Structure 1
Amino acid sequence: MEQFDKIVIGSGQAAPALAAQLAKRGFRVALIEGDQLGGTCVNNGCTPTKTLRKSAKVAHMVKHAEEFGVSAGDVQIDFLAAMERMRERVNTSRAGLTQWLNSFDNIEVIFGWGQFAGKDGDKFLVDVDGRRLAAPDVFLNTGTRSFTPPVTGLDSVRHLDNRGLLALNERPSHLVIVGGSYIGLEMAQIFRRLGSEVSILHRADALAEREDSDVSEIIADMMKDEGVNLYLEAAMTSLAPTENGGVTVTLGDGEVLDASHILFATGRVPNTENLALESVGVECDDRGYIKTNPQLQTNVPGIWALGDVNRRGAFTHTSYHDHEIVLASLDGMQDLYQWKGADQRPTTYAMFTDPPLGRVGLSMTDAKKRVAEGQNILISDMKMANVSRAKEESETRGLIRLIVDGDTEQFLGATVFGLNGDEIISVITNYMATGASYRIMQQALPVHPTVSELLPTILAGLKPLTAE
């Protein structure tokens, strides 16, 4: 039995940083990974998709070059070259992470599927690749994987998740995407711009339905303008293979779609079933996510759960932030500016379509519910079509929406859908962390010409929100 001070299982965005910080504090750390270092983000999430998004954006800009006084001629897309560029970026990123972790003398990276094997006194036992490790503290960062719902004929056809899609070497002639939420929308736009016919099947009557209805409408218009076929409130009844290796998709109304490829972007499930959590008594919810308190401690002292697997934020940035919360707890939370718990942070994220959507805190729909309960809330909108920088760049789709508490004057939420929305939302997110009044931002000196320079102007137009 091998003794360690700390064991980290999984190497998503929380784990490497946590392992490094623990090592710097003098602990001997085992970092266990069952697949590839870096987790979803590095290998089949953020890094590859944003790299491929750039290729798609360049193709889109070149096709529209004449609008800017540039003649580009006939545009040819080398799909394989774009995919190889993406893979090179992934390999470089993973190699850099590997080199960095190996630079720590007291971190041992162990490849294999780690699982608990009970306790020995005050130490947890973890088996991996024929070895038995022991440590008093274990940190779980095993993440999630794609969920594919049961459909008649599913086993008879070639179907893709996000990993399979990014492994393609040939461009799909017709990509059917099941799911019209964030991942599905990003992939739809990317592959449409790279030359595929794309169809989205979505169960709801609006795309990205957790957004405000006007935002969902803008997203739908954007997709339709780029030639993406939308099937809303669509249900599949069956799938069947075609002679050329494609798939026939039969919808509930009897319509049949012939696709070369089908991608399921229908949610995620946690990677917890092989951890043998029952051997140490760690509790999960009914979907397999590990229950934690705001400091990310499980019901078993000495075991923490970080990242997607704790259901406290399914994003790379929340996973990374989790490691800071854990360190604050381990350090005794002595620093005034350390985050003390996950319940403090507002939900913030981006959808990386082009233009992107940035969101933090309450939507207008959420805010109206608060108003109905008696809260005093102020709101102000501005269309991107009224933003000079957006007009100068012919990027006028979208809006900016700011929501504040009428009594405390603190920000409650924001939506920035449009040019640089994924970057601008961080201005609001960071400001919310200060707890300051919106009036301070309203009096700030912005840089011209930018999109964010309009934030003080929008704040000057705040008006009471009604529940209707």
Structure 2
Amino acid sequence: MPNTSYDALIIGSGQAGNPLATTLADAGQRVVLVEENLLGGSCINYGCTPTKAMLASAERAHQLRTAGDYGLQPVKPAVDMAAVVARKNHIVQAMREGVRSNLTQERQGITVLHGQATFVGPRTVRVALAGGETQRLTAKKVFINTGTRAAIPDIEGLQDVPFLTTTQLLDLPEVPEHLLILGGGYIGLEFSQMYRRFGSRVTIIEAGRQLLEREDDDACQALTEVLEAEGVEIVLGAEVRRVSRSEAGVFTLTAHTATGERRLRGTHLLVATGRVPNTDTLGLDQAGVQLDEKGYIQVNARLETTVRGVYALGDVHGGPQFTHISYDDYRVVRANLLHRGPRRSARQRPLPYCVFTEPQLGRIGLNEQQAREQGIAYRVATLPVSTIGRARQTGRTTGFWKVLVGEDDRLLGATVLCAEGGEIMSMFQLIMAGRLKYEQLQNMVLAHPTWAEGLNNVFRELQKPELKA
């Protein structure tokens, strides 16, 4: 078994590991990157890229059906699901090849190995290569970027039926007749609207009292109404206790609800109940790397694990699981290892995110629930999207903007449920980064007619929040 030494060993080709590999190589270091599955990580292969590509197809189908609202003849689209999947695959493959080219053709000093890495010491791993050979690698520094996979709940009968994860559903070449979605988080919501627009009956089954448990009640209620208006059935407060499948291929979910037992039936079942870290096969105990109770790697503010010289980046160390946070993990490590100047921390950084339903739900900073929990005084204002000229002109009037302002007249956070909600949320993020006071936005000259004009008006009715009993 060959024993090879490198300056840096990166396990996992994700949104933190790939740019780190090229940056370290450009700095003159010898880098080896080990990937067990596909180059590009979850975002490119079964996360953001394929999901948003297929959401775009679903949006086109919705536009054809609703063309009558704009004075055009509506059309019932004939959805060619195999073609939708093929388009998605073409986009994914191009991005995957871009990663491969960047790592293997455009940079010297990077070795890419396909295989499973297992620690046999603090900074030593054994790699079982795809071809059957084995290599032993040692490095001055090791970076773990192995991500997460779908969490499968412990429900009677679930392991005995052919349920789908999001990865498998994205490759399904036909439109499900009736898709059951177990889980009401942002993944479940995006897939529910997507497949409803493709023509499926869709039922979301959620154990909690509302969708998107971390959001304020008004945002959850508004999104619930949006989905229900499109024909998505939503069952809340439903604890699924048993899953079965008949000989005819019909799934039955037996759930306990506040009104008694309920049985939900469908032709396909998507399990979207969260993620678990890919740490169980890494042999981290051999390295001395400590995990938390859920299997995530424990790290400090510099993303270093309990073993000196071993780092964890991306979803595998827990916390918010977003591509942009993983990429910022790369920037934290890059700054602390390669740049002179103040240390960069992975703590207390902005957390923007967006749920890509239509309308989108964009979030930055604090919402009301978080401000109350932290005891932070705030004023709040809500602007119905229907009051924005651009919304009326385009017919995209569903949703609202909500802003929280602190005692210093600066923005604490924003919730944007709106067409292009992610882009508008990013404007609020820039406002917060620039520490502008809300009065400056009220008096700013903004081009007409744009969505941004809402910045002139959203703060108009600022008031203290109502006290909740």
Shift of 1:333: 4.8
Partner of 1:270: 277
Q: Cα 1:299–1:421, aligned 2, differ >3 Å: closer, same or farther?
A: same
Is the Cα–Cα contact under 8 Å of residues 172 and 261 in structure 1 kept in the other structure?
yes
- Report the aligned-residue RMSD: 1.6
Is the Cα–Cα contact under 8 Å of residues 62 and 197 in structure 2 kept in the other structure?
yes
Shift of 1:436: 4.1
TM-score between the two structures when normalised by the length of structure 2: 0.94
Mapping of residues 299-448 of structure 1, within 5 Å: 299-334=306-341, 340-370=344-374, 373=375, 375-407=376-408, 409-448=409-448
Structure 2 residue runs without a partner (length 5+):
129-133
CA distance in 2, matches of 1:380, 1:138: 47
Is the Cα–Cα contact under 8 Å of residues 164 and 270 in structure 2 kept in the other structure?
yes
Shift of 1:153: 1.2
- Between 340-349 and 221-230, report the one with greater CA deviation: 340-349
Q: Cα 1:416–1:9, aligned 2, differ >3 Å: closer, same or farther?
A: same
Determine which of 66, 75, 80 is the counterpart of 1:78: 80
Deviations 1:422-459 (A, max 9, x none): 11111122332334444444443322212222113223
Is the Cα–Cα contact under 8 Å of residues 9 and 114 in structure 1 kept in the other structure?
yes
Which one-letter code corresponds to 1:247 in the other structure?
A: F
Partner of 2:247: 243
Partner of 1:67: 69
CA distance in 1, matches of 2:228, 2:455: 30
Partner of 2:289: 282
Partner of 2:109: 106
Shift of 1:394: 1.3
Partner of 2:124: 125
Q: Cα 1:444–1:31, aligned 2, differ >3 Å: closer, same or farther?
A: farther
TM-score between the two structures when normalised by the length of structure 1: 0.94
The SS at the match of 2:423 is helix
Shift of 1:385: 1.5
Determine which of 159, 176, 180 is the counterpart of 2:163: 159
CA distance in 2, matches of 1:432, 1:110: 43
Is the Cα–Cα contact under 8 Å of residues 14 and 323 in structure 1 kept in the other structure?
yes
CA distance in 2, matches of 1:354, 1:16: 31
Do structure 1's residue 89 and structure 2's residue 88 form an aligned pair?
no
Is the Cα–Cα contact under 8 Å of residues 62 and 72 in structure 1 kept in the other structure?
yes
Is the Cα–Cα contact under 8 Å of residues 313 and 319 in structure 1 kept in the other structure?
no
CA distance in 2, matches of 1:110, 1:437: 51
CA distance in 1, matches of 2:25, 2:434: 31
CA distance in 2, matches of 1:331, 1:28: 15
Is the Cα–Cα contact under 8 Å of residues 371 and 377 in structure 2 kept in the other structure?
no
Mapping of residues 97-246 of structure 1, within 5 Å: 97-102=99-104, 103-119=106-122, 124-129=123-128, 130-246=134-250
Q: Cα 1:460–1:331, aligned 2, differ >3 Å: closer, same or farther?
A: farther
The SS at the match of 1:22 is helix
Mapping of residues 38-49 of structure 1, within 5 Å: 38-49=40-51
Determine which of 53, 56, 59 is the counterpart of 2:58: 56
Partner of 1:455: 455
CA distance in 1, matches of 2:65, 2:5: 60
CA distance in 1, matches of 2:429, 2:300: 23
Q: Cα 1:342–1:437, aligned 2, differ >3 Å: closer, same or farther?
A: farther
CA distance in 2, matches of 1:115, 1:445: 58
Shift of 1:467: 4.0
Shift of 1:332: 4.5
Q: Cα 1:186–1:73, aligned 2, differ >3 Å: closer, same or farther?
A: closer
Structure 1 residue runs without a partner (length 5+):
none
Is the Cα–Cα contact under 8 Å of residues 388 and 453 in structure 2 kept in the other structure?
no
Partner of 2:465: 465
Shift of 1:279: 1.3
Instruction: Figure out how many residues of one structure are paired with residues of the other and give that number.
Output: 457
